[in-house]
Structure 1
Amino acid sequence: MPEAVGVIETLGFPSILATADAVVKAARVTIVYFDKAEKGDFIIAFRGPVSEVKRAMEEGIREGANVFGGVIQSHYIVPNPPPNVVDVLPIHYTEASEPYRFTF
């Protein structure tokens, strides 16, 4: 089953917290990356089947923007990323994220 990677960037920590919460509750996805971007922006990356990532993305955007002062800076989905992209970018499953990975 092809997997996708979804990425959401928000302004401020409350927005990314609400986004991450909505993402994992809305669909069978695993958060594989979290970090601060620039100037108070935060970013999460999550992986799962393409249909699940699409559903998680919709809910994450809705909830992140619903937080007081919440701003979604950017978001995108990469369906079926090639192995060289997964190896180079920080979007692979790690030892920390593996226990929460959904197997299909």
Structure 2
Amino acid sequence: MKQALGLIETTGLIGAVEACDVMLKSANVQLIGKEIVGGGLVTVMIEGDVGAVKTAVDAGSSAVTRLCQNCLLSTHVIPRPDNSLADILPVNANEQQENVLAEEVLIDMTVIDELGNNNTELEEVELVITEDEQPIDIEDIQSSPSNEQPKKNSVKEQLMTFITDGNQQQAKDWLMAKKVSELRVFAKSWLNFPLSKKEVHHVSKRTLVETIITYLSKADEKEE
């Protein structure tokens, strides 16, 4: 979760839409989602740095008041909310889409790893050569530079290699170079990861990287 959570509760959807529009335009914040409680009550939620969230909530509440004095019911800013709140907050739609794309990338990486780790022998193939085609020398293919690349290790194995060698900073730099959506997919796929799936969605990238390093360091100690 970001450093602050901002909420504006309005009567009617128009006021909520106006609040969202003004908040997102007035400060560097992200929209988490909305909750329709019933009876026309709508709560919109944003996240971001403490100062940015306060600025956005103030601007949004002023805009709703100008639109309709009776539309604004309440506003609230929670600095540094506890990570457990992630269990009752909606997941950002953009994050869901990123996770779907990242999961597809992870699946592709897994397939590549499996293909790279399978030491299969070359099978003899009967080549049908037409008049316009030339025979292909399999030895030339085997000796080509593109086939001399080292086999890729899985993400976890790569990180464990860094940590086992005492290169935690190198592991951290490697993780920071990845997209946060990829890190979330990695974390959710590991057994007994200390953060829940919803917490993984809401913690900052730096916190997620530090948690991954701690998790893998403990795993390395157990193996020893």
TM-score range, shorter chain: 0.7 to 0.9
* 2:118 alignment partner in structure 1: none
Contact 1:30 1:97 in 2 (8 A): no
| Larger RCO: 1 or 2 (CA < 8 Å, sep 6+) | 1
Q: CA deviation at 1:69?
A: 5.6
Alpha-carbon distance between aligned partners in 1 of 2:40 and 2:47, rounded to the nearest angstrom: 24
* 2:47 alignment partner in structure 1: 47
* Residue 68 to residue 85, structure 1, CA distance change in 2 (3 Å): closer
Contact 1:15 1:70 in 2 (8 A): no
Higher strand residue share: 1
Alignment root-mean-square deviation, CA: 2.1
Secondary structure at the residue paired with 1:31? strand
* Residue 70 to residue 31, structure 1, CA distance change in 2 (3 Å): farther
Gaps spanning 5+ residues in structure 1: where? none
* 1:97 alignment partner in structure 2: 94
- The structure having more radius of gyration, on CA atoms, is 2
Q: CA deviation at 1:89?
A: 1.7
Gaps spanning 5+ residues in structure 2: where? 99-204, 206-224
* 1:28 alignment partner in structure 2: 28
Alpha-carbon distance between aligned partners in 2 of 1:97 and 1:6, rounded to the nearest angstrom: 18
Runs ≥4 residues deviating over 3 A: none
Per-residue CA deviation, residues 22-77 of structure 1 (Å, 9 max, x unaligned), is 00000000110212122111110100000000000100000011114652111111
* 2:122 alignment partner in structure 1: none
